[in-house]
Amino acid sequence: MSKAKRIHPLKIRPAPRPAGLVLDAQLHLLDRQMLDVDGVPVSTVDDVELSGPEPDERIPEGAEAPVISALLTGPVLGTRIFGGRPPSSRLIRIPWSVVAGVDTVVKLGVRSDSLDASWVERWLRHHVIPRIPGGRHDPH
């Protein structure tokens, strides 16, 4: 890896400040806990899906900036340790359109039961928990 060319500090200008909420993906989104509308934990943000452009394709001047289309969650532990990332088909999408707020947690505006991300929990609730004695009713 070659040494990076240094940009002279005097050439670095003050950045324009967007009027709304500013989010740095690593700082504010990745690895954050997602809570549903009732405050129930859903999953964590493992990756972010953007609309266009195609990787390594030349971007025409004046092209519209990409937007976040979905937050992704999935089995990333192995790839975090050994490198790479799981194939897109293994990642579960949570559309950005259901995100209600970004704070110390990412708040969703829907119930977790309506999301694919909570299928493991639903499957365990329906197939494993009822077989445990006392698992079919509320605790006394």
Partner 1 sequence: MILTDVLGSDVVDNSGQRLGEVSDVRFAVDASPGQLLSKARMVGIVVSPRTASSFLGYERRGITQPWPVAQLLRWRHRGSFLVLWEDIAVIGPREVVLRPGFTAYESTLAF
Cis peptide before 14 (omega within 30 of 0): no
Residue 81 interacting with partner 1 (CB under 8 A): no
- In this structure, the chain runs to a length of 140
How distant, in Å, are the alpha carbons of 60, 68, 70, 100 from that of 95?
A: 27, 9, 4, 11
Q: Which stretch binds partner 1 (CB under 8 A): 20-28, 111-119, 120-128, 129-137?
A: 20-28
Q: What CA dihedral angle connects 6, 27, 43 and 99, to 10 degrees?
A: -110
Segment contacting partner 1 (CB under 8 A): 6-14, 117-125, 128-136? 6-14
Per CB under 8 A, the list member of 16, 39, 130, 139 interacting with partner 1 is 16
Least distance CB 120 / partner 1 (angstroms): 22
Q: Which of residues 83-112 bind partner 1 (CB under 8 A)?
A: 85, 88, 96-102, 109
